[in-house]
Amino acid sequence: MLGKGWLSPWVEGGTFCGSRGMALPILGLRVRLRNAAAENFAVMVEAYFVDGSQVERTNADAVISAESHAALEAFKLDIVPLKAVGKGASPVAGRGRKKTA
Burial of 10 (0-12, 13-18, 19+ CB in 10 A): exposed
What are 35-91's pLDDT values in tens digits? Answer: 899 899 988 889 999 999 999 877 766 788 888 989 999 999 999 898 765 544 444
SS3 state of residue 72: strand
- pLDDT above 60: residue 5: yes
> Using CA atoms, how far apart are residues 23 and 46, in angstroms rounded to an integer?
24
DSSP annotation of 100: -
27 touches 48 (CB < 8 A)? no
- Beta-sheet pairing, 28-29 with 64-65: antiparallel
Work out the pLDDT band at 32, boundaries 50, 70, 90.
Answer: confident
pLDDT of 22 reads 80
- pLDDT above 70: residue 97: no
pTM over 0.75: no
